[in-house]
Structure 1
Amino acid sequence: MNLALNGQLQTIASGTGQLCFYVKGQGRPLILVHTINASASAAEVRPIFESLSQHRTVYAIDLPGYGFSERADRLYTPRLMTDAIHDLVQHVQAVHGSQAIDALAVSLSCEFLARAAAEQPTHFQTISLVSPTGFTGLKLRQAPEGQTYGLNWLLAFLKGPGWGLSLFNLLTRPKVIRYFLKKTWGSPNIDEEMYDYAVWTTQQPGAQHAPLSFLSAQLFSADITNIYDRLTQKVWMSHGTRGDFVDYRGKQRYAQTGNWRFTVYESGALPYFEMSDQFSAELLQFISPT
């Protein structure tokens, strides 16, 4: 079995299907949620998993459609991903007690974590958002609750005979995966271990299903500004200055709120790969009880 992380792989039966996650360490729980893309998996949070497991019990989820979690041919939506986080939280609280949990998510998955925290605020102590979506420009995303940017016609086209799988196979060729990782890093110096796992995981049965929902915008929430507005927990938002993900002008909406703090790293979109020691120290400080 090709594991993404050096931890114990566990599985639970949940309302979102077979849900897998990695566990390592001792102490108060910390949940990590990887990004959404064509080749996503828990491998994308490896530096945090390794570092913070020296201080905490760290849980790194494979979201539905990715890694070792169920990769069924179904519609993948913010509701499904948010419910998967709720399911993991329920499991973690059954193990550790009903204490509030610290959680971190990356990129588009920040929207799912934020929604989970808005829906069940007492379940979360702190929320860490790394390069979150929903902050590009000054546009407010305040559609009715639960509405997405999903293009149903595009999804239907992608699920037509051969089209979607052909596009997925094109996007997950090793050279293409490397190209997109370079854009994420804003540099050719990507993490080769993460690259190798990204290539491997896209070659597994059912790997195309969740990415097709992603490509047809089904996983992007049109109401996410309202969700971020509802967060009452301590929130730490961080991002880099290089690559494709550098426009976070929308964060000024929360600059004067007492529960949000911000850090900008001289890095790409995954600063914890390039500045692991600094990022881990700041994360540990943020989630430590005061």
Structure 2
Amino acid sequence: MGANVMNAFRSRHEERYRDAAVGDGLGRERSPSRLLGRNAALLGAGAALAAAAVYVQMRTREAENTNPPAGRFIEVEGVRLHYLERGQGQPLVLLHGNGSMIQDFETSGLIEEAAKHYRVIAFDRPGYGYSTRPRSTIWGPQAQAELLHHALHLMGISRPIVVGHSWGAMVAATMALDYPGAVKGLVLMSGYYYPTARLDVPFASQPAIPLIGDLLRYTVSPLLSRMMWPAVLRKLFGPKEVPERFAREYSVWMTLRPSQLRAAAAEAALMIPAAFSLRNRYRELDVPVAIVTGSSDRQVSSRFQSERLHDEVRRSTLHVATGVGHMVHHFAQGEILSAIEEVGKELPQRQAVPRIHAQRIPLH
């Protein structure tokens, strides 16, 4: 009887082992070749990710070697901020949009034109260009405004005119709201000020997801973003063509570095909540505000963003560049410089400026 029990136990054990080895839990057998195929697929995927990581690292190093820091650095509250300073006169601070960096303002020609009359300070916002972005802070508009306020204080710069483009416009507006005596005036370009449904946010914010986002940023995301780059530019610059200088001088792979993709993804995720938190505060702005927008902006609605802001801000003027898209500073520099001058004079009236046709100022 003991032998029979042992044989029965052995038979059941062998049956379970056989099921685990060759079954898939649904009564189907897995052949050795099928198991080998699955393992080969996993190994192939791992090898592809490793190859992608090596390629991304190579392109990142190449981009940084080709585009070294053009400005200076200042350490503020554990953040290493990179900034470019040009010209003399009244201080003028430039804040770029999401996914961008100082190079955008350089290739537009705005820095060199403004530097003829102002002391221009263009910042790489946290995580962009050569500025760091510590994970310990949620870098919404308030946190960035506080950081830049302290940076300007350390630099001995008081009451600058602050120019913000796109996401940077929220930061600029927050600087004036939270530190009203420290800002002389605002020029807000192509800004996103009020929360709206954004179909691009779920995809754009994926690289900011903990763990999985880190894997994506160092492997797949830069490659996919590079494939989508022409379409992204068409949306940003359209209906105009991408300017030759931007196409020639702006570094694609500086933008696609893992560190910068993390910042861009985080700001994509923060965009709607940030606009929601600011939506009822704009009426508190008590500095001159020039609002500049393109009539054909495909990224944000001029009507529901810039025109609405103009309706709510008492000391504001509205400048609409006809036939221009989101990258208004590349095509309507003359109007932007006029808006900066207008704000510098602290004109108190509220008005809508007639629509203007985009023109380029000759670059010298």
TM class, shorter-length: 0.7 to 0.9
Residue 259 of structure 2 corresponds to: 206
Distance 1:246 1:256, change over 3 A: closer
Residue 84 of structure 1 corresponds to: 147
Partner amino acid, structure 2, of 1:19: L
Residue 243 of structure 2 corresponds to: 191
Verify: 1:48 aligned to 2:91, yes or no: no
Residue 142 of structure 1 corresponds to: none
Residue by residue over 1:91-111, the C-alpha shift from the partner in whole angstroms, topping out at 9 and shown as x without a partner, is 34x1x4xx4211100011111
Q: Give yes or no for contact 2:208–2:214 (8 Å, CA) kept in 1.
A: no
Residue 228 of structure 1 corresponds to: 282
Residue by residue over 1:40-62, the C-alpha shift from the partner in whole angstroms, topping out at 9 and shown as x without a partner, is 10122222211110001100000
Verify: 1:216 aligned to 2:269, yes or no: yes
Partner amino acid, structure 2, of 1:134: Y
Q: Tell me, what secondary structure is at the counterpart of 1:162? A: helix
- Identity within the alignment, %: 18
Deviation of the 1:286 alpha carbon = 3.0
Residue 56 of structure 2 corresponds to: none
Q: Give yes or no for contact 1:4–1:42 (8 Å, CA) kept in 2.
A: no
Q: Give yes or no for contact 1:245–1:269 (8 Å, CA) kept in 2.
A: yes
Distance 1:198 1:75, change over 3 A: farther
Query: Would you say how many aligned residue pairs link Structure 1 and Structure 2?
Result: 270
Distance 1:13 1:229, change over 3 A: same
- How do 1:262-273 residues align onto structure 2 when only pairs under 5 Å count? 262-266=318-322, 267-273=324-330
Higher relative contact order (CA 8 A, sep 6+): 1
CA distance in 2 between partners of 1:2 and 1:88 (Å): 27
CA distance in 2 between partners of 1:153 and 1:271 (Å): 28
CA distance in 1 between partners of 2:131 and 2:246 (Å): 18
- How do 1:24-173 residues align onto structure 2 when only pairs under 5 Å count? 24-37=86-99, 40-46=100-106, 47-72=109-134, 76-78=138-140, 79-92=142-155, 94=156, 96=157, 99-135=158-194, 155-156=208-209, 159-160=212-213, 162-166=215-219, 168-173=221-226
Partner amino acid, structure 2, of 1:182: R
Deviation of the 1:153 alpha carbon = 9.5
Q: Tell me, what secondary structure is at the counterpart of 2:342? A: helix
Residue 144 of structure 1 corresponds to: none
Distance 1:2 1:122, change over 3 A: farther
Larger proportion of helix: 2
Distance 1:202 1:282, change over 3 A: closer
Deviation of the 1:129 alpha carbon = 0.5
CA distance in 1 between partners of 2:246 and 2:302 (Å): 25
Deviation of the 1:265 alpha carbon = 0.4
Distance 1:67 1:285, change over 3 A: same
Consecutive unaligned residues in structure 1, runs of 5 or more: 140-148
CA distance in 2 between partners of 1:80 and 1:203 (Å): 24
CA distance in 2 between partners of 1:59 and 1:14 (Å): 16
Deviation of the 1:155 alpha carbon = 4.2
Higher mean alpha-carbon deviation, 179-188 vs 198-207, is at 198-207
Deviation of the 1:273 alpha carbon = 0.8
CA distance in 1 between partners of 2:129 and 2:313 (Å): 37
Q: Give yes or no for contact 1:172–1:202 (8 Å, CA) kept in 2.
A: no
Residue by residue over 1:212-256, the C-alpha shift from the partner in whole angstroms, topping out at 9 and shown as x without a partner, is 313433685021112322211111111002233334325336426
Select the structure of larger CA radius of gyration: 2
Q: Tell me, what secondary structure is at the counterpart of 2:263? A: helix
Q: TM-score, normalised by structure 2?
A: 0.65
CA distance in 1 between partners of 2:181 and 2:224 (Å): 40
CA distance in 2 between partners of 1:60 and 1:116 (Å): 15
- Root-mean-square deviation (Å): 3.1
Distance 1:203 1:164, change over 3 A: closer
Q: Give yes or no for contact 1:33–1:106 (8 Å, CA) kept in 2.
A: yes
Residue 277 of structure 1 corresponds to: 334
